[in-house]
Amino acid sequence: MAGAIGYLGPKGTFTKIAVDSMFNGEVKKSYKTIPECVDAIQDEEVEYAVLPLENTIEGTVNITLDYLIQAKEVKIVSEVIVPIRQHLMVHKDNVKSWKELDVVYSHAHAIAQCHTFLHDEFKNVEPQTMTSTGAAAEFVSKHPELNIGAIANHLAAEAYELAIVKKDIHDFSNNHTRFVVLHKKDIPLTSTRLEAKGNKTTLIITLPSDNPGTLHQVLAAFAWRKLNLSKIESRPMKTGLGNYYFLIDIEAKMDDILIPNAIAEMESLGCQVSVLGSYPYYLYNGNGVTLTV
């Protein structure tokens, strides 16, 4: 299906917020797992796919990255950062009795993120876990006869016509989820709806041996070129414990000189370097853009 957008479903999740903030009017196709979504891009079932890369509620970073490294022809062409905001919501019939809820449903991670609120306001209510925040909202929408609530995002409230009775109940503000847009061609995707915050280039660097000096030299290649890094993360190789590769985000667009020269220098030290993408990044904070659910 040409032109379709794949994403990690179901509706009402944070991934759906990300996909709706970047795409408007296209056919959107939900997949149950991250690998199915990567396959869909490779097999050209969809033209773009949106997946969580960091800090998400329902997905895991590691799975996206594992499959992305395997799928060499798939590139990151854009990124959207979505603040994680959790709200308490109930069926519209039960707005008046929300303080006496019998059960609160949500994904386990969302329940954990709202620990202080639940501890202070619903100490005697046993939270029940569901497979996603969207599934929790759906369950609440189907049971107006029960005095129950869900913890989920604002899109889930809209999708399932629930009333938000308490906003922003998460313990730590400024938690964000990073979503990447994947595509088979290495062409940056610019948003017509969100304002670009800057550009990033993501590299995977494998060091020649488990040597702290080499990492230090690698970082020197960026430091003296004043290439700012917005992320560095070591991750275990699939070959066993004790071997690592590095995931590095440079706060710059791929250019003709600085980044290629830094890569050439790292390669001369015996590193293997691959570029996962060079792309603009966006922040969707819920202001100014109306999402189509």
Chain residues that interact with its own copies, rule: CB under 8 A: 32-36, 55, 58, 60, 62-63, 66-67, 81, 108-109, 111-113, 115-116, 127, 129-132, 171-176, 197, 210-213, 215-216, 219-220, 222-223, 226-234, 236-242, 244, 246, 283
For its own copies, the closer of residues 176 and 185 by Cβ is 176
Please state, in angstroms and rounded to a whole number, the distance separating the CA atoms of residues 72 and 69.
Answer: 6
**Residue of 183, 89, 168, 95 lying closest to 136 (CA atoms):** 89
Token reading at 151: 């913890």
Please state, in angstroms and rounded to a whole number, the distance separating the CA atoms of residues 165 and 118.
Answer: 14
For its own copies, the closer of residues 113 and 278 by Cβ is 113
Backbone angles phi, psi at 104, to 5 degrees: -115, 125
**For 109-164, what is the HEC assignment?**
HHHHHCHHHHHHHCCCCCEEEECCHHHHHHHHHCCCCCCEEEEECHHHHHHCCEEE
The C-alpha angle 134, 62, 76, rounded to 5 degrees, equals 85
Shortest Å distance, C-beta 212 to its own copies = 5
